[in-house]
């Protein structure tokens, strides 16, 4: 069994584990990485980009190196290699938890329990829930499902296809660091600059693949492509823009607008201006679209890895 099949079987098994079990309930590796990164920050923090870059290098480099050592240790055993890839995939993706939390908020909204929906919203995103009415919560959930389909699933598969277990772990480490220090708070405006820029770079291919697959499998394919082309560049995030615009067009809804985040009010441009306002039932539609994108992303990344290896092998022999 070659490395390509190891990734294919391991990634498929890991996604199945996520589907059946959700996130690990105890001792989550991502949570352990977050605690370690926070400890490093307490030692290194200075209001300076250079110290933030060192923090990023130490944390991401340490995670990737540890994953590479583990992959090397099990390489003689194909079964162990598949098992390690499956475990890493299960640990770094979060599609099932994303869908579950979105649906719980949707059920609260459908039952008229807006306070319950506000209480659950922080499990999905960093919006200030008290500043949102029912429609605002529904829109926040759909936007979160779209963005996290890329961040929590597709991006990890892309880098897993590129770099195996170190790629999977490295992508999640970068994404986690961005969530911790990459935001524009006074403390992290300079210190988190390197983490934010690295996350933009690492998320670029996964975001475009997510947007492409959403356009290919969504209810309104033309609408997805139109919104992506017209509105993605107006979003402040280079990666969330294509994903949210494509989801908005595919679902026929309008995303963006005013939001409150960590006590800061932002006025974001509208995505898919031809669409209607988000309704509660659009949460379930977004979850279904996310699941279709996830399934296709597995197939695309596996096929891409196989094709790339064959092209490279042919080039070496010619």
Q: What is the pLDDT of residue 68?
A: 98
Rounded to the nearest integer, the mean pLDDT of the chain is 93
pLDDT above 70 for 79? yes
121 band by pLDDT with thresholds 50, 70 and 90 = very high
Q: What is the Cα–Cα distance from 185 to 182, expressed in whole angstroms? A: 9
pTM of the model: 0.94
Averaged pLDDT, 171-197? 93
pLDDT above 80 for 19? yes
Averaged pLDDT, 102-112? 97
Averaged pLDDT, 113-124? 94
**Number of domains the chain contains:** 1
**Residue pLDDT, tens place only, 190-222:** 999 999 999 999 999 999 999 999 999 999 999
Q: What is the pLDDT of residue 249?
A: 98
318 band by pLDDT with thresholds 50, 70 and 90 = low
Q: What is the pLDDT of residue 3?
A: 82
- Print burial letters for 249-275: b (CB count within 10 Å at least 16), e (below 16): bbbbbbbbeebbeeeeeeebebbbeeb
Residue 111, CA atoms < 13 Å, CB-side half-sphere: 10
Residue 111 domain boundaries: 3-317
Secondary structure of the chain in the HEC alphabet?
A: CCHHHHHHHHHHHHHHHHHHHCCCCCCCHHHHHHHHHHHHHHHHCCCCHHHHHHHHHHHHHHHHHHHHHHHHHHCCCHHHHHHHHHHHHHHHCCHHHHHHHHHHHHHHHHCCCHHHHHHHHHHCCCECHHHCCHHHHHHHHHHHHHHHHHHHHHHHHHHHHHHHHHHHHHHHHHHHHHHHHCCCCCCCCCCCHHHHHHHHHHHHHHHHHHHHHHHHHCCCHHHHHHHHHHHHHHCCCCCHHHHHHHHHHHHCECEEEEEEECCEEEEEEEECCCCECCCCHHHHHHHHHHHHHHHHHHHHHHHHHHHHHHHHHHHHHC
Q: What is the pLDDT of residue 66?
A: 97
pLDDT above 80 for 26? no
pLDDT above 80 for 1? no
Q: What is the Cα–Cα distance from 2 to 12, expressed in whole angstroms? A: 16
Q: What is the pLDDT of residue 263?
A: 66
Q: What is the pLDDT of residue 152?
A: 93
Q: What is the Cα–Cα distance from 12 to 236, expressed in whole angstroms? A: 33
16 band by pLDDT with thresholds 50, 70 and 90 = very high
Report the candidate in 108, 154, 168 with the shortest Cα–Cα distance to residue 132. Answer: 108
Averaged pLDDT, 84-111? 96
| Residue 22 CB neighbours (<10 A) | 16
pLDDT above 90 for 131? no
pLDDT above 90 for 185? no
Query: 189 vs 145, 186, 247, 287, CA distance in Å?
Result: 26, 6, 30, 33
Contacts 24+ apart (CB under 8 A), 193-198: 193/49, 193/52, 193/53, 194/49, 194/52, 194/53, 194/55, 194/56, 194/57, 195/52, 195/55, 195/56, 198/56, 198/60, 198/174
pLDDT above 70 for 262? no
Q: What is the pLDDT of residue 223?
A: 97
178 — alpha (psi -120 to 50), left (phi > 0) or beta? Answer: alpha
260 band by pLDDT with thresholds 50, 70 and 90 = confident
259 band by pLDDT with thresholds 50, 70 and 90 = confident
Averaged pLDDT, 239-260? 94
Averaged pLDDT, 257-282? 86
**Residue pLDDT, tens place only, 41-76:** 999 999 999 999 999 999 999 999 999 999 999 999
Q: What is the pLDDT of residue 100?
A: 96
């Amino acid at each position: 069994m070659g490395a390509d099949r190891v990734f294919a079987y391991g990634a498929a098994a890991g996604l199945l584990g996520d589907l059946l079990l959700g996130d690990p309930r105890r001792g989550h590796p991502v949570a352990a990485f977050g605690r370690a990164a926070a400890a490093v920050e307490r030692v290194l923090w200075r209001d300076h980009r250079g110290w933030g870059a060192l923090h990023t290098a130490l944390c991401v480099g340490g995670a990737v190196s540890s994953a590479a050592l583990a992959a090397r240790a099990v390489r003689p055993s194909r079964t162990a290699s598949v098992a390690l890839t499956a475990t890493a995939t299960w640990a770094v993706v979060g599609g099932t938890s994303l869908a579950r939390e979105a649906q719980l908020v949707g059920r609260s909204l459908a039952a008229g329990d807006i306070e319950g929906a506000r209480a659950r919203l922080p499990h999905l995103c960093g919006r200030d829930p008290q500043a949102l009415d029912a429609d605002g919560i529904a829109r926040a959930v759909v936007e979160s499902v779209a963005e996290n389909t890329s961040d929590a699933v597709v991006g990890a598969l892309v880098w897993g296809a590129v770099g195996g277990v170190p790629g999977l772990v490295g992508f999640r480490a970068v994404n986690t660091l961005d969530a911790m220090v990459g935001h524009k708070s006074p403390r992290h405006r300079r210190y988190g600059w390197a983490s934010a820029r690295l996350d933009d770079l690492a998320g670029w291919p996964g975001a475009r693949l997510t947007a492409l697959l959403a356009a290919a499998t969504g209810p309104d394919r033309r609408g997805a492509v139109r919104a992506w082309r017209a509105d993605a560049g107006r979003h402040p995030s280079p990666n969330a823009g294509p994903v949210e615009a494509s989801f908005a067009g595919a679902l026929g809804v309008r995303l963006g607008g005013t939001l409150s985040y960590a006590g800061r009010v932002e006025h974001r441009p509208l995505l898919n201006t031809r669409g209607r306002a988000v309704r509660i039932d659009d949460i379930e539609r977004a979850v279904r679209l996310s699941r279709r994108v996830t399934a296709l992303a597995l197939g695309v990344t596996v096929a891409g890895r196989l094709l790339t290896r064959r092209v490279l092998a042919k080039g070496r022999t010619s």
